[in-house]
Amino acid sequence: MTAITQTYVANLALALIGTERVNDFNDDDASANIARDVWEIARLEALASHEWRFASTIAILERGTAPDAGYTYRYQTPADFIRLNAVYSDAEMVDAIRDYALRGGYIHCSSEAVYLDYVYDHTTVGSWPPWFVTYVAGVLAYHIASTQKSTSETDRFMKYAMDRLSMARSLDSTQQPVRKPPPGTWIRAARGNYRTI
């Protein structure tokens, strides 16, 4: 099996564009130079585009100084923060906090504690799932092509990336456990454990 590396992803993108592949991502040739120039923006854009399960983690945030107005507390987001998935007030993470604001790298809210579910800056290319790799390659192709091709051609690469994003989101969503809500009163009554109080 071929190892997934920056070179591998760059060559997928270059194949989409129809230019020569690179032997190494760090080579000093035109294709590798352009791929390196746009690599970070393409990778970060791809990570920020969905609540990726493979790149999500939980952090308990430290309470900082009070914000100027609106909320009681503010909590600094982690250094590797890319995208917010949800904010919770307890370790069970059942009911998300709905009244909060994300401003300037801080979560502003009135909760005594904050558990943050977020997409982190996942840089280990070799552990990316294949559906994300093809999506990143599409985004990378778009950014590489935007420096070399016409607008109609770059639009084609954006469409390819959006198609890969749709597929990747679908596949990623199957990788998480399904949380079922507690049964409602009708179901509890049918099971004989309905409580009237």
| Average pLDDT of every residue of the chain | 88
Residues 119-131 have a mean pLDDT of 96
- Taking phi over 0 as left and psi of -120 to 50 as alpha, with beta for the rest, 177 belongs to beta
Q: Mark which of 79, 97, 120 sits at the end of a domain.
A: 120
State the residue range of the domain holding 68.
Answer: 56-120
Number of domains in the chain: 2
Asked whether the predicted pLDDT for residue 184 surpasses 80, the reply is no
Asked whether the predicted pLDDT for residue 115 surpasses 80, the reply is yes
C-alpha to C-alpha distance for 195 and 104, rounded to whole angstroms:
46
Per the listing, tokens 């592949």 go with 21
Residue 159 lies in a domain: yes
Shared domain for 14 and 62, answered yes or no, is no
pLDDT of residue 179: 55
Residues 42-66 have a mean pLDDT of 94
Residue 181 lies in a domain: no
Model's pTM, two decimal places?
A: 0.82
Whether the CB-CB separation of 75 and 61 falls below 8 Å is answered with yes
Residues 5-21 have a mean pLDDT of 94
Shared domain for 22 and 115, answered yes or no, is no
